[in-house]
Structure 1
Amino acid sequence: MSSSSTIQTDITDDALLSTNLSVNDTSDFPDLSAVGFSYTFQFWYLLVCEIPSLACYLFVFIYILTEKTQRRALHNHSMLVLLIICFPIVLFDYSWTIDSCRREGEVWFQGSFLCQVWWLFDYGFYNTSVVILAWSSFQRHILIFHSNLVSTKRKRLFIHYFPLTFILVYLTIFYIYVIFFPPCENQYDFTSAVCGDYPCYFTVPVLAIWDNIVHGLICTFLIAIFNITLLIRIIWQKRHQRPNWKRYRKMVVQLLSISAVYLCFNTAPSIIVTVQMAGYPDWGADVYNYFFFFTTSIQFLVPFICLLHLPNKFRKIRKLITGNRRRVMPGVIVRPIHH
């Protein structure tokens, strides 16, 4: 699911006859003109949120990449990937949306390739971030309760690095195929935001169901399950085994905070899409656009949550602001006394 505008999708009669599941007549990017907010409100809301969010992204990137301990920490790898995926959404997707709001929905560029790139950020990157977070939620169980599985380089290669790489490669191939080389013909409308339309693969039942159910609803469900069970396991073991939870506290709280934000904004749209695909296209249609408009808050908030759980962040901020300048104090030269 994406986060900026909703598009009404029409399913052909042949497609409806070929499957009992109807592809949801709203896709992942709410049509800005359909949201009950003025373009002026949307423009300022997105702009005011985007500027501090981009600054926070840059600081977190600098912090993690320049601090050796943070860069090598296994739990930071999936979070860093999540940040790298969310950053282009804020930088490009939301910036272009802001510009469309300024133009009252019109797209400033008139090229199909750029529209496809916009769809890639909006649909592909957004859903990829959900899948990565689902994997991160599962991975925390390994890092905390089964750390022996990543105790050697070989184990880390197969248990830690390979799954993350496989997810990224698979999703990259999937979204490049369905957006740039689909088994249908994309349509573009340059007079409304996000090129006014949706990738045509949403009219292909198999692809639409796979994307919305597997990448959307199931992964959202897994995020909830993995985080709830993680919290239960921590509470249970803290009472019975009393391990040193201080070393895991920030790792756990960071994941739970990010997951809570995703679940807060992503659960309702995922449920609405699923119900609509199950044959009730009008269910939740009145509130769908509003839910998706505010899913933009996810990418805006992620870097701030990561920042809150970084150690010595205030010292690092002060160091960056002051440029690590050292105050030079005048010295007093003491000459030896000769008798």
Structure 2
Amino acid sequence: MSLPPEFWIARTANILSIISAFCALSLLLFDRTLRRALHNHIIIVLLSVVFVRSVSNLFYNIYINLLADLAWNPILYYLIWFFIDYALYSTQIILVVWAAIERHILIFHDQWLRMRSKRFLLHYLPIIILLTYSLIFFSVITFVPFCQNSADNILAGITTNPCSLDNEMLGSWELICHHIVGIFIIVLSSLTLIVRIIRQKQRLHQSVQWRKHRKPTIQMLLTSMFYLVCDTPWVTIIFALRYGLSYDIVAIPLTNAFMLRDYVTHMYPFISILSSSDLRHKLRRMVLCWRKRQAILPDGTIQLAVTRRRQTAIN
């Protein structure tokens, strides 16, 4: 089967995303200091969601395009693809919204998290609730039969959402609450975080323990900017379409915005590594150690051979 270059480009990016997400997760989970740092917990959850979405999309696309025929059950295929692709993507946005809010607690109100009970209520419980909510909400709108999806539309590539999102209440809730309000909260939280840091630094005439808070602050700001850049164009176009704009006007921009949104999953593991100096240093050390072993092994092998020859000659 001959597949377009876009398929192989996307799958290559998919594989690189899986590798980088796996490396970042391994470093965060197996290093005790990184694993116990509270500001890394939401990053671990985000990377886990990205890893699951990347692996699922890779195998599903390979299976459908190379091994299978959509005729077996096109509606089921479409719904599963939507859940894997879109539900996990929206879950990422929801988690980033909470991460932007939580950074204020971690930096300016860390005393709230010293007690185990408060740490559970303010740190762990929100993540559990958001993941549970996302799983239930997108499972319901994807698989509960509110309406009848058309197999002809699915096969023709006309439908971009399950028909449940054509419902005014469900569609508006998903778009406005998960994305538009989410973008607003991310922007507001990021800007107020910068302002609070500057004001406290000026008021106390010190760096506000900047060395302590620099890493989580930079990490969060880069993550927020990345998701804003990738999500805002798509949300803007979808919002305009839902409330009256003609599809013919935005057909090409919508395709480009969809591709940009899709690359959130592919690029986020790299962003998480670049925004964390700890991960960068550990990866650099791993690469240097691997290169050193590769360089030492031939010399060591030669030296061992020379030693054995000398012993043989003496005997």
The TM-score normalised by the length of structure 2 is 0.81
129, 136, 144: which one aligns with 1:166 = 129
Paired residue type of 2:182? C
1:276 aligns with 2:276: no
Task: Compare 215-224 and 233-242 and name the one that shifted more.
Answer: 233-242
- Contact 1:54–1:91, Cα closer than 8 Å, also in 2: yes
Shift of 1:44: 3.1
Q: Any conservation in 2 of the 1:42–1:98 contact (CA below 8 Å)?
A: no
- Pairs within 5 Å for 1:146-165: 146-165=109-128
Distance 1:58 1:50, change over 3 A: same
Which residue in the other structure is 2:313 paired with? none
Q: Which shows bigger deviation, 66-75 or 234-243? A: 234-243
Cα drift, residue 318 of structure 1: 4.8
1:1-339 paired onto structure 2 within 5 Å = 40-93=4-57, 96-97=60-61, 107=70, 110=73, 112-188=75-151, 191=155, 198-241=161-204, 242=206, 243-282=208-247, 284-308=250-274, 309-311=276-278, 312-313=281-282, 314-318=284-288
Whose relative contact order is higher, 1 or 2, with alpha carbons under 8 Å and at least 6 apart?
1
Q: CA deviation at 1:152?
A: 1.0
Residues 1:170 and 1:321: Cα distance change in structure 2 (over 3 Å): farther
How many Å apart are 1:113 and its aligned residue?
A: 3.6
Write out per-residue CA displacement over residues 255-293 of structure 1, whole angstroms, 9 at most, x where no aligned residue.
111111111111111112222222334463441111111
Listed as ranges, the gaps of 5+ residues in structure 1 are 1-38, 331-339
Higher helix share: 2
1:139-198 Cα distance to aligned partner (Å, 9 max, x none): 0011001111111101101111111111111111111111111311233357467x9653
Q: 1:108 to 1:53 in 2, by over 3 A?
A: farther
Unaligned 5+ segments in structure 2 are 305-315
Aligned pairs, how many?
Answer: 289
Measure the CA separation in 1 of the matches of 2:285 and 2:74. Answer: 46
RMSD: 3.1
Give the distance between the partners of 1:300 and 1:248, measured in 2 at CA: 28
Q: Deviations over 1:101-140 (max 9, x none)?
A: 779xx74864544432211111211111001000000000
